[in-house]
Every structure is written in structure tokens, then in C-alpha cells.
Amino acid sequence: MFLSEGFISRIIVVMTAIMILFWIARELSNTDHSLEAGNYNTPQMQDRYVAPPTYKVWGRGLVYDCIKGEWACVNRHGYSQCRANMKWNISHNKPYECFTVHVYSSDVDCIVVQLRHITRQVKVDFCNQYQR
């Protein structure tokens, strides 16, 4: 089956719009950097609950929101927060609220994989794992 030129041009326009939205979101974001990667392992933070990220600031880290059942590409802070939330849930034998998947080389790469996971309905059995 051959793709029409109109379809391909629509895909290019959509991808361009997505990249512009990523850039705008990054420029406008005012994230809290007090819990950057590495700061979760201090003695005060080891047993403190870390909520999953808000998923509002886009980036190149693919995560799965086990509460809403959605794939999301998040920035470094969101990815680190998701990983810390996972560690807390593991240590307290609770189901995942957020699951880290992979960090890609660009936002667009993350979006492509995110869309592939959505359209292929990738299994997310990892959300229901209690025993680790």
C-alpha cells in the first residue's frame, strides 16, 4: 500500500507541531530542582514517599503511568522522580504508580516509541507486580 503525499505532509506537520510544543513547554517550565537525580538517596530521603511525576513537562524519558494507564515522555526531573517513586514502592511492597522504561536521544525519538507502544497496545503487566 502506497502512502499519499497528503498523508506524509500531514505527518510532517504534526511532528513539527509536537517538536514546537516540546520546545515551548521546556521554555515555560518552572520545575522544582530540589529533588534532582541523586538527591533521593540521602538519609532523610531514603524512606520518604516520593509521588510520581505530574507528566506535564515533556522530555526524552519514556515512563508509564500505572495509575492512569498512559505512556508519557518526561524530562530528566520527571524521570528521576518516577524512578524514586518506583524504589519507594518496591521497598514498601506496593504496586508501581510509575514505571521507567528508557531514556532516548531526543524528544522526538521518545514520542515515536510512545506512539508505537500505544498503537501496538504493549502489555503493561509490570504495573501489577508486588513481589520483587
User: How does pLDDT run across 23-58, given as a tens digit for each residue?
Assistant: 666 666 544 444 444 455 555 455 789 999 998 889
Tell how far CA 83 is from the center of its chain: 10
Q: pLDDT per residue over 64-122, tens digit each?
A: 999 999 999 999 999 999 999 999 998 988 899 999 999 999 999 999 999 999 999 88
Q: Is the pTM of this model over 0.95?
A: no
User: In this structure, is the dihedral angle defined by the CA atoms of residues 33, 39, 40 and 46, taken in order, positive or negative?
Assistant: negative
Beta-bridge partners for 82: none
Residue 15 has pLDDT above 90, yes or no: no
